[in-house]
Amino acid sequence: MVFFIYNILVIITGGLLHIVALFNKKIKLFITGRKDVFRHLKSNIHPSDKVVWFHTASLGEFEQGLPVIEEVRKRLPDYKILVTFFSPSGYEVKKNTDAADIVTYLPLDTRSNAGKFIDIVDPELVIFVKYEFWPNYLSELKKRKIKTLLISAIFREDQAFFKWYGGFMRSSLSTFDHFFVQDTNSKKLLEGIDYTNATVSGDTRFDRVSEILNRDNSLPFIETFKSNELCIVAGSTWPEDHELLASFINNDTSNTKYIIAPHNIKNKEIEKLQANILKKTVLFSKKDDQHLEEYQVFIIDTIGILTKIYSYADIAYVGGGMGTTGLHNTLEPAVFGIPVIIGKNYQKFKEAVDLIANGGITSIKSQEEFNNILKILIEKNTVRLEKGKLNAKYIEKKRGSKDLICKYIGENPSKNTSY
C-alpha cells in the first residue's frame, strides 16, 4: 500500500512540476532536460556495450564520486561510464565532462521510467554517491540482481530508515550489495536495522581534494598581484560576508593583499562590493594592462579559478556560514595547509565540525570575532603556520576511501566486470 501511494505521489509531483516550470527557470531545466533522456541513451548505448552507471544528486556528489569514476574508467577501459544527475545545478555544469561517456538526467522515479531506463542501460555495476534512494530504481536493480553500491554514504538517526514508520524506505536499502560509509555512527545505525554489509571507508572528497596538490595551480596574474605579500583569499562569499571583509579591509594598515571571489558575480553585486571597499581595488574582468602589484584588493568576477587562487593564500575565509545559504567548500583551501575562517552556521558540515575541533578552522559569530582572529593570523606567523599544518595533516589522514572502494569492486566483480 505504501509503495502504491508513493507511486501516485511521484506521478502527481511530475504533473505539478510541469506547471511550476512555467514560472521557475530551474524547474524548467529539470523538466526539459528529461524530455530526451531515453532517446539520448539509445543513441549512445549499444546492446553489446558494457556499462558502469554512477548516480549523483548534484554537483557536490559528482565531485565526491569523481575519484572513483576516474579510477574505474582507468581500470575498466572497455566499459562505458554513465553519469546521471537529479539536479539541474549538477547536470548543467558537468554535462560535457570528460570523466564520463554519457551524462544525462535521471528520469523521475516511476515504475515505467525505472524499467525502461534499466532496459536500455543494462549496467554491469551501479554506484550511487552519498544518498538518493529512489525505490522504483532500486527495486528494479534488485529484481535484476545488478550489483549496486552506495559510496561516501552518511546516515543520521533522524532519517526515515531508522523510524518506526520507515519500513518502506528500509526495504530499499536491501538493493545495495555493500555500503561504504563515512563514519562509524552510520555503520552502527545500519547495523541497528540489520544491515551488516557496511565498511567505514571515509569520504572520497578527501581523495578528490588531495589530487588538487598534484595539479598545475599557477596563475601568473595572481602571483603578480600578491607580490610576495601576505595574502588572504575569501572564497564563495555572500553579502553578509562582504560586510565583515569590507570593514576589516578598510581599517587595515598593513600591506596584506586581499582576494575576494563572490559566489554571485552579477554586475550589481560586484559593483556594490567594490563601492564598499575604500582600498585600491581591481576586478578580474578589468585586470589586463593594469599594474596589479599596485592594488590591495582583487575581486574575482569570474568562475572556475577559485581552487587555483587558494594555492596563493596564506589565510582563507570561506563564505556561506554567516547566513543561511550553506557553508561552501572548506577542504579546497585547507588542503593547501593554511588556516581557514568560517561563519557561525557550519553544524551540518562534518568536515567543518572536525576541523574546528582539530584547531585548523575558526568559526566566528560577529565582526569583533572576525577582526580578532584575522589580526592574530596576520601578525603571528607561528599561529598561522601551525593552524595550517593541522588542516593539511587532517586531510592527509582522511585519504584512502577511493582505494578501499575500488579494491572491493576488483574483488567482487559483477557479471563480467573484472580489473
Active site residues: 61
* Grid cell at residue 72: 574505474
- Collect all residues with Cβ–Cβ distance below 8 Å to 32 and sequence separation of at least 6: 21
Of 320, 300, 360, 319, nearest to 336 by C-alpha is 360
* Grid cell at residue 23: 514560472
Give the CB-side neighbour count of residue 3, counting CA atoms within 13 A: 13
Residues in the chain: 419
Helix (H) or strand (E) holding 59: helix 59-75
Tell me the residue type at 359. Answer: G
Q: Where are the alpha helices (DSSP H) in 339-400?
A: 350-358, 367-379, 381-398
| Chain centroid, CA 75 distance in Å | 24
Which 3-state string (H, E, C) describes 131-161? CCCCHHHHHHHHHCCCEEEEEEECCCCCCHH
Q: How many CB atoms lie within 10 A of CB 266?
A: 10
d(CA 126, CA 54): 6
Q: How many CB atoms lie within 10 A of CB 167?
A: 12
- Give yes or no for a contact between 75 and 419, defined as CB atoms under 8 angstroms apart: yes
Of 260, 226, 225, 229, nearest to 243 by C-alpha is 260
- Collect all residues with Cβ–Cβ distance below 8 Å to 63 and sequence separation of at least 6: 205, 208
- Give yes or no for a contact between 267 and 283, defined as CB atoms under 8 angstroms apart: no
d(CA 75, CA 71): 6
